[in-house]
Structure 1
Amino acid sequence: MKNLRTRTSVFALAGAAALASLPAAAQVDGAAGQQDSAAAGEGAIIVTAQRRAEAQVDVPISITNLSSAALETASIQQLADIGKVTPALRFDFAGGFFQPTIRGIGTAVTTSGGGGNVGIYIDGFYSPNPLAADFDLISVDSIQVLKGPQGTLFGRNTTGGAILVSTREPSTSANAFEGRVRYGRYNEARAEAIANYVVSDRVALGVEGQYRRGDGWQREIATGERVGDYENWSFRLSMMAELSDSVELLVRYKHGETDDPSTMLAASLDTSDFGLGAPFGGLAGPYTTARNRIATGSVDEVFRSNSDVVQGTIRADIGFADLTSYSQYRSEKSDMSQDLDYSGADIFQLGLPNVNETWSQELLLTSKAGPRLQWTAGLFYFENTDTYLTYLDNAGNDWNSRVRLGGSSTTVKSYAAFLDATYEFTQQLFLTVGARYSKDKIVDAYWNHQLTAVEVPVPDISNDKLTPRVVLRYKPTDRTSIYASFTKGYKAAVLDVGGSCQIALTNYTCNDVRPEDINAYEVGFKYEERGLSFEAAAFYYDYKNLQVSIFRTGTAEIINAATSEIYGLEGSMRYEITPEFQLSAGASWVHARYKRFNEAPVYVRCAELGGAAAADCAANGVTFVVVPTTLENVTMQRTPEFTGFLGGRYETELAGGQVALSGNLFYSSRFFFGPSGIQFEQGDYATLALRAQWTAPDERFHVAAYGDNVTDSRFRTQAQYSSFGIGANWSKPATYGLEVGVRF
């Protein structure tokens, strides 16, 4: 309680500081400050990639900007779906862990204090938990995917980039309600509602909620019964209050619950480079490698989560600049139970509850539009306590049947200060210089002795990092930009309390998992004029000390891969051929290689080893082992060389209303799931989403037919590897259905 009171007091003081002694100036104009002169042009695309509102053509960062209409066109329902319209972006899951990768920079590390390489920000708030990062998109206005390191403006663990989600806010303009329901294949039912209520000319309330449920599409091979039924729901309450002509307050509370085992349901992996991945499958129980089937033991797989989020945003005009305060508390609890031998025998069912608690506070200052010097400055504090418990669930995953195996916990604290400034030398030449100083600490870390709850403390660690940014930008015209940039990013060090710390063979010594480090160089071109928006970029990354998760001694360890090199080309465009017909397209080529990977984990079947090694396999009851191998110039994990999409939307009048026909085609070349980058291949694949919608003349009613993956393309969505087996999850078959919506 003392810590709770202390943190609450700190947040209250931060808010009070923002409100104190403010001049009666003009009303605040948006969350991220004023837009520059170029953004004032009609039809300009506005983004907040530099923490202030600007025209996208003036921002020297590779950005995929997705409007609510673009999300609808591509049948995007959850955050992970945006990979279908974003070149060089992948979303992978390891069990219930949500792991984005941009241009080859991602992670498969799932451990206490680990985190991802792509920062996810929702309405300006950092969302660190990979077990709760994928969510349903209800009231989204736009999503911006920033590519390349964002270490200066967005901080730690953004070596790959950042994803910025902006949602609707309550408005004092008018009362409003919007709702829609949909029903589709596999009995998928979804309902959403958003309401805005005007209390006064300065206060408005917002309420939104969603419910989604459906049947699983896989069947258990022994019984033939369908498995994977799911049910998710959430609601959010918001209050917007104009406290004065210069101060605005937004307070939000969100609660969500998920019961969805789909990421837990894996068949055995069967690939040409390795073969059957279930070591006990043929020996002790039935198994399957079929894409629509699974083999499970007597205990069901589960993934359940429960989250509560409280956020407070204060925006204030303080005369010389705009001040924004972001205060956040997150409590997220989840429980997983997964069969890690992927067979019908009860060999090893892992239970993995997680408790995640986050406090964060950020103060952001942005300059006023007009002067030649535009700047952004800020202070950031972040604290996250991440606790894992591990259980043997062979007898059941209820709390009375579980057998305690161990667990681990860390508390991560991060402090940062940053400044980023752009100076206009002439109307055509601009220089941006920025830097962020960060100090990261891991404290109060421990791991649990096997089969007990006894906590073994681990010494604290800390590291400091300076992440600079330099950009030179030239504007041949008001609607054209050419830029060259250097940016630095890092992913913080990890205490391997969930892995090497617990291994007797290492004398319970933790691996020294150093911070990842990246130097990124990019040149780009942007154009926006007369219905055409186009941008292209070439990039080169020098990437060191990748944090890689491996299974080498019966437990997941984390090590550093030595060095990697990434370079490539990328382009995207949006073109309004006529007011009724728009096209969008994007493509990326990424050459990503481990330059040298010492002790890379290569999975080898015991039958190929022979001699004493094969005898050891037999003694331990396994059919494969991990052989540490030095690799040079091999492909990086989870990185297709080519990705691209093509989308279109056509509108015309029908029966007095408006018909909109839209579709999106996505393509990915082959890649490898294995951490060494040479195993567990997924071949190239393509998916197609289609939608047809009729909207009434008064725009208060619409009905739509939709289809996702209508070509029924089947591909692996993840490969899961442990000491007990190697499994594969498959893409969902074609889905289709109807949607009805109202608005007033």
Structure 2
Amino acid sequence: MRNAGTRASIVALAVLAPFPALAQNAADVATVDEGPIIVTAQRRAEAQVDVPISITNLSGAALETASVQQLADIGKVTPGLRFDFAGGFFQPTIRGIGTAVTTSGGGGNVGIYIDGFYSPNPLAADFDLISVDSIQVLKGPQGTLFGRNTTGGAILVSTREPSTAGNTFEGRVTYGRYNEAKAEAYSNRVISDRVALSVEAQYRRGDGWRRDITNNNRRVGDYENWSFRLGMKAELTDTIEILLRYKHSDVDDPSTMLASTLETSDFGLGAPFGGIPGTYTTAKNRIASGSVAELMRANTDVLQGTVRADLGFADLTSYSQYRSENTDMSQDLDYSGLDLFQLGLPNRNETWSQEFLLTSKAGSRLQWTAGLFYFENTDTYITFIDNFGNDPNSRVRLGGSSTTVKSYAAFLDATYEFTPQLFLTLGGRYSRDKVVDAYWNRQFVATEVPVPSISNDKFTPRAVLRYKPTDQTSIYASFTKGYKAALLDVGGSCQTPATNFVCNDVRPEDINAYELGFKYEDRGLSFEAAAFYYDYKNLQVSIFRTATAELINAATSEIYGLDGSVRYEVTPGFQINAGASYVHARYKRFNNAPIYVRCTEAPPEYAATCGAGVTFVVVPTTLEDVTMQRTPEFTGFLGARYETEMAGGELALSGNLFYSSSLFFGPSGIQFRQGGYETLALRAQWSGPDARYHVALFGDNVTNSRYRTQAQYSSYGMGANWSQPATYGLEFGVKF
């Protein structure tokens, strides 16, 4: 009944705003005197009301209200957006468009951009947020302006830049439940009237909230993450500016690896051999990890250079990036204490990218954006058997694989103003993608077996007709196309005797998207709504012909729905915002859909596959009109913020309630169901005069809602990751 009541209250708010999509807090929406909200969804600065894309725009204050600490937390204030993990792999889904595929060179279906730079590695895409100005979530394919692997949309993170406006320092420390301690600081120093430096740093650690039943209920899941970033901004001339940044981060957090045994209506317990007492647990706060500890460690180095030049007729921006990301994982794939199979999976990921962006000057009837993009990513996996330990001396080499992906693209997007009310946008992007220098390693001997290169060319157009009846209102109809690049299945079919060691041809995914939208912004009221329809083909999925997962193009799907949001400033000190999303996502026809079956119930032809610890096999089945994976039909949020003077300073009370209807974690869309759930974040903050310091009391998931955050599936067992229990804490901050 609690879920039903939560859903009813959000639906009631959605009736007032029948097509919900934008999540904003007081700082997100400017009043009529302050000017419109500015976004960069079309790669140039524009008023959000004039941009014909569904956008969730989140300010730093909005993130604070919802207790957002890492990128994955923004799902609580972005209807239609989910974040899932497959082990350590970070996998966003927008309006049903996502992927559960993990392979060398694979990547996700949602592009993540940080200060204009593409971050492709799913093992490093979820990160602690520090000095964030805003986050924009663009819903729907962004194949023209952002390119490959943006079939679901794009997430744009903008952080604070060094400034010559003056010297500043901001810092805060936090302490909360499970001994979580967090410290972060940002400092800006003016070197001259043209040069400024910034230094930012963050440290976060905490105790785990799970215990291991196979090791005297020892607490597991302790984590320690830290990062720092250096920045320099210099005006070389009156028309040329350069911004240089270096960031290093270090993560030691096994949370996504710690899973209890999955208990599901599909086949009962997901424990090996039906479950041997004392070797598994289905409890939310317990695991059975066996003799070897799980781990997830990563260190990242990023160098970025941004050059901005005023050419007179247009503005030129150059984005140059190098990323080096090294990850080590070790996961118990039987999710029990039996030590059947623990997989070690180190990864080395190296990225080079270069983009040139040319944008027109504001004021003319023709506004345009043109660009050139180059991207190169080398993604190498080494696999180990970690049954005897995951230190370098105990690991047994199993295999591995590697690919180098190269992408070249050119694009042009232009909007012409026929009249002050009527606008036409046309755009297109031509991309050429290659997968080269690919190989897989023969098991136990690590011999590199080269794989022939592949390439494909794609053209992704965009067309939008927009009507602006008033300065505060826009109505638009759009067509956009997106794609997820082709893959080399070096980790699967390339290594399978059943395919004679020939790699499956895994073609690009394609999506055609149609959207009708409405936007309004004036006098403290902001409203955004969209109806959408997607034709989605050639979905890249995993199946099991033998004990090895293979990638194929299998499913076609149809997605349609409504989403939107409303934000209203009741008084200058009281704001309410709400959003909701309805997504009807169905596999129209899913050939060879992976259905997990216990070996004791599998057809006779799978007898040879079962054995040697294998408990489950996948029986490929053709399905029609079934729910898509990881796609709840309804998601919504309700947020509020109240500010008043108190004791010479300001008291701010805020809260955010999020609800998700049920969904299926299984890749077929019909297995491993999670029911509906809600989370509630609350915050009370008092700021002193001139906001020089503040103290805050906060709580996240204060209703202690417990739900599965992921179902982990393999041939050896089935695992369940659970939501963290209620957390709360105190924060102290200074600013001068």
TM over 0.5: yes
Distance across 1 between alignment mates of 2:649 and 2:332: 52
Q: Does residue 31 of structure 2 align to residue 43 of structure 1?
A: no
Instruction: Give 2:124's aligned amino acid.
Output: A
Query: What secondary structure sits across from 1:191 in the alignment?
Result: strand
Could you tell me which residue of structure 1 aligns to residue 66 of structure 2?
74
**TM-aligned CA deviation for residue 281 of structure 1:** 6.2
- Give 1:495's aligned amino acid: L
Tell me the equivalent position of 2:48: 56
Q: Structure 2 residue aligned with 1:446, among 429, 432, 439?
A: 439
Deviation at 1:41, TM superposition (A): 6.8
Change (3 A) 1:186 1:502: same
**Residue of structure 2 equivalent to 1:544:** 537
Q: Check whether the contact 1:281–1:287 (CA below 8 A) recurs between aligned residues.
A: no
Quick check: 1:240 aligned with 2:233?
A: yes
Distance 2:42 2:422 in 1: 18
Matched residue, 1:385 = 378
Aligned 8 A contact 1:594 1:634 in 2: yes
Other-structure match for 2:507: 514
Aligned partner of residue 469 in structure 2, secondary structure: coil
1:605 matched to 2:598? The reply is yes
Q: What's 2:424 paired with?
A: 431
Are the aligned partners of 2:31 and 2:522 in contact in 1 as well (CA < 8 Å)?
no
Aligned to 1:463, the other structure's residue is in SS state strand
Find out whether 1:151 has 2:126 as its counterpart.
no
Mapped pair 1:528 → 2:521: yes
| 2:109–2:484 Cα contact (<8 Å) kept | yes
Across the aligned residues of Structure 1 and Structure 2, the Cα RMSD in angstroms comes to 1.4
SS in 1 for 2:63: helix
How far does the alpha carbon of each residue in 1:345-403 deviate from its partner, in whole angstroms, 9 at most, with x for none? 11100000000000000000000001100000000000000000000001110111100
The Cα shift of 1:629 comes to: 0.4
Give the residue type in structure 1 aligned to 2:370.
Answer: A
Q: Aligned AA for 2:498? A: L
Does 1:186 pair with 2:162? no
Q: 2:415 aligns with which of 407, 419, 422?
A: 422
Q: Of the two structures, which has the highest relative contact order with CA contacts closer than 8 Å and spacing of 6 or more?
A: 2
Distance in 2, Cα, partners of 1:192 & 1:216 = 21
C-alpha separation in 2, matches of 1:418 and 1:262: 40
- 1:525 alignment partner AA: F
Q: Deviations over 1:607-655 (max 9, x none)?
A: 3347x35855764543332111000000000000000000000000110
Letter of the 1:723 partner, please give it.
Answer: S
Aligned to 1:475: 468
Which string of whole-angstrom CA distances, capped at 9 and with x for unpartnered residues, describes residues 457-494 of structure 1? 00000000000000000001001000000000000000
Query: What's the CA shift for 1:282?
Result: 2.5
* Structure 1 residue matching 2:514: 3-state secondary structure: strand
Q: Which of 391, 394, 403 does residue 398 from structure 1 map onto?
A: 391
After TM superposition, the structure 1 stretch with the greater mean CA deviation from structure 2, 161-170 or 722-731, is 722-731
Alignment equivalent of 2:718, drawn from 726, 735, 738: 726
Alignment of 1:572-583 (within 5 A): 572-583=565-576
**C-alpha distance in 2 between matches for 1:678 and 1:291:** 23
Corresponding residue for residue 707 of structure 1: 699
1:139, distance to aligned residue in structure 2 (A): 0.3
Within 5 Å, which residues of 2 pair with 1:61-210? 61-210=53-202
Q: Is 1:586 matched with 2:579?
A: yes
> Could you tell me the TM-score, scaled by structure 1's length?
0.94
- Provide the C-alpha distance between the structure 2 equivalents of 1:614 and 1:199, rounded to a whole number of angstroms: 70
User: What residue number does 2:322 align with?
Assistant: 329
Letter in 2 for 1:739: E
Give the SS at the match of 1:395.
coil
Q: Is the 8 A contact 2:602 2:617 kept in 1?
A: no
SS across alignment from 1:475: strand
- Counterpart amino acid of 1:592? A
Conserved? CA contact 1:285–1:343, under 8 Å: no
1:193-342 aligned at under 5 Å gives the runs 193-222=185-214, 223-280=216-273, 282-283=275-276, 286-342=279-335
Gaps of 5+ in 2: 1-29
SS at structure 2 position matched to 1:698: helix
Measure, in 2, the Cα distance between the counterparts of 1:511 and 1:416. 26
CA distance, structure 1, for counterparts of residue 418 and residue 606 of structure 2: 70
Q: CA deviation at 1:549?
A: 2.4
Aligned partner of 1:673 in structure 2 is 665
Contact 1:483 1:524 in 2 (8 A): yes
Secondary structure of the corresponding residue to residue 61 of structure 2:
helix
What amino acid is the match of 1:265? L
Q: Give the Cα–Cα distance (whole angstroms) in 2 for the partners of residues 581 and 636 of structure 1.
A: 39
- Distance in 2 of aligned mates of 1:662 and 1:470: 40
Choose which of 468, 478, 491 in structure 2 pairs with 1:485: 478
Query: 2:648–2:689: 8 Å Cα contact kept in structure 1?
Result: yes
SS at match of 1:430: strand
What secondary structure does 2:600 align onto? helix
SS of the residue 1:584 aligns to: strand
Q: Which moved more, 1:276-285 or 1:341-350?
A: 276-285
- Secondary structure at the aligned position of 1:394 is classed as coil
Letter in structure 1 aligned against 2:685: Q
In structure 2, how many angstroms separate the alpha carbons of the residues matched to 1:617 and 1:160? Answer: 36
Separation in 1, partners of 2:560, 2:107 = 24
SS of the residue corresponding to residue 300 of structure 2 reads strand
Residues in 2 aligned to 1:283 and 1:389: alpha-carbon distance in whole angstroms: 32
Among residues 662, 680, 683, which one is paired with 2:675 in the alignment? 683
Does the aligned pair in 2 maintain the 1:472–1:484 contact within 8 Å? yes
Gap change, CA 1:218 and 1:277, over 3 Å in 2: same
Q: Is the alpha carbon distance of 1:688 and 1:143 closer, same or farther for their aligned partners in structure 2, counting shifts above 3 Å?
A: same
1:93 touches 1:263 (CA, 8 Å); kept in 2? yes
Shift of 1:284: 9.2
Q: Which moved more, 1:331-340 or 1:624-633?
A: 624-633
Task: Give the TM-score, by structure 2 length.
Answer: 0.95
> CA–CA distance in 1 between the matches of 2:440 and 2:707?
37
Amino acid in structure 2 at the alignment position of 1:43? G
Does residue 693 in structure 1 map to residue 676 in structure 2?
no
Which residue identity is paired with 2:724? K
Q: Name the SS of the counterpart of 2:178 in structure 1.
A: helix
When structure 1 is superposed on structure 2, of 264-273 and 533-542 the one drifting more is 264-273
Conserved? CA contact 1:703–1:740, under 8 Å: yes
Q: CA deviation at 1:547?
A: 0.8
Aligned residues of 2:31 and 2:523 also touching (Cα < 8 A): no
Counterpart position of 2:403 = 410
Aligned to 2:26: none
Aligned amino acid, residue 339 of structure 2: D
User: What secondary structure sits across from 1:83 in the alignment?
Assistant: helix
Count the aligned residue pairs: 706
Letter in 2 for 1:628: P
Displacement of 1:42 in angstroms is 3.0
CA offset digits 1:204-247 (Å, max 9, x no partner): 00000000000000000121111000000000000000000000
Residue in 2 that maps onto 1:458: 451
Q: By how many angstroms is 1:561 displaced?
A: 2.2
- Please tell me whether the aligned partners of residues 615 and 715 of structure 2 are also in contact (alpha carbons under 8 angstroms): no
- Percent identical among aligned pairs is 82
Cross-structure match for 1:640: 632
One-letter code aligned to 2:507 = R
Q: Which amino acid aligns with 1:47?
A: V
Q: Per the alignment, in what secondary structure is the counterpart of residue 369 of structure 1? A: coil
Amino acid at match of 1:121: Y
- Tell me if the contact between 2:596 and 2:618 (Cα under 8 Å) persists in the aligned partners: yes
Give distance in 1, aligned partners of 2:275 and 2:575.
54
Q: Give distance in 2, aligned partners of 1:153 and 1:618.
A: 47
